[in-house]
Amino acid sequence: MKITPLSIPDVLMIEPQVFHDNRGYFLESFNQAKFEQHLKRPVHFVQDNHSHSVHHVLRGLHYQVVKPQGKLVRVTHGEVFDVAVDLRINSATFGQWAGCILSAENHRQVWIPEGFAHGFYVLSPTADLSYKATDYWYPQGERTILWDDADIGIQWPLTMPPIIANKDAQGVSFASAEKF
């Protein structure tokens, strides 16, 4: 397993070792001991989520102010541009974003710690995104920041206007969003 910090050092790209042969491939998608050894802290996942989306769907930017979630994200089918936004007021990277391409072909995962908003944009005809969360979904604490907020300035690789949910279209600006 190769672990590399993205432009925000707490957001990590995880690349598993993939063993290919004439039958296909094998990879270890998660190892608790190795993961915690790298983070230098215990992490307890309590919920696994799966999202299926069509081309040009943009989901996010989502986070929970109550019961914040750390997320270990991977794509099992298709390809997405995945984004994390630092909402930790005392962080040196507060208000910055980090993004990467996750796909079924590159097998990469991204670790997004608690205190970040998360979103993704589907680059392929369809995509299945799966992620582990460190706390349970808590709708009363869920918040959404506008995906196209100018203060954040995410460079989404859009080729047409994205397909977004009403709740995402009604997100708040970064300036008025609750932070950590």
Residue 1 has pLDDT above 90, yes or no: no
| 131 among known catalytic residues | yes
Q: Say which of 63, 107, 118, 131 is annotated catalytic.
A: 131
Helix (H) or strand (E) holding 36: helix 32-39
Q: Is the dihedral of CA 41, 47, 53, 56 positive or negative?
A: negative
Cα gap 149→87, rounded to integer Å: 14
Instruction: Say if CB 48 and CB 35 are below 8 A apart.
Output: no
- Catalytic site residue from 62, 63, 107, 121: 62
CA dist 168 and 171 (Å) reads 5
Q: Could you tell me the domains of the chain?
A: 45-169 (2.60.120.10)
Q: Tell me the pTM.
A: 0.95
Q: Is the pLDDT of residue 53 over 90?
A: yes
Query: Residue range 129-137: average pLDDT?
Result: 98
The model's pLDDT over 84-119, given as tens digits with 9 standing for 90+, comes to: 999 999 999 999 999 999 999 999 999 999 999 999
- For this structure, is 20 an active site residue? no
Residues 165, 59: contact at Cβ < 8 Å?
yes
* Residue 139, helix vs strand vs coil: helix
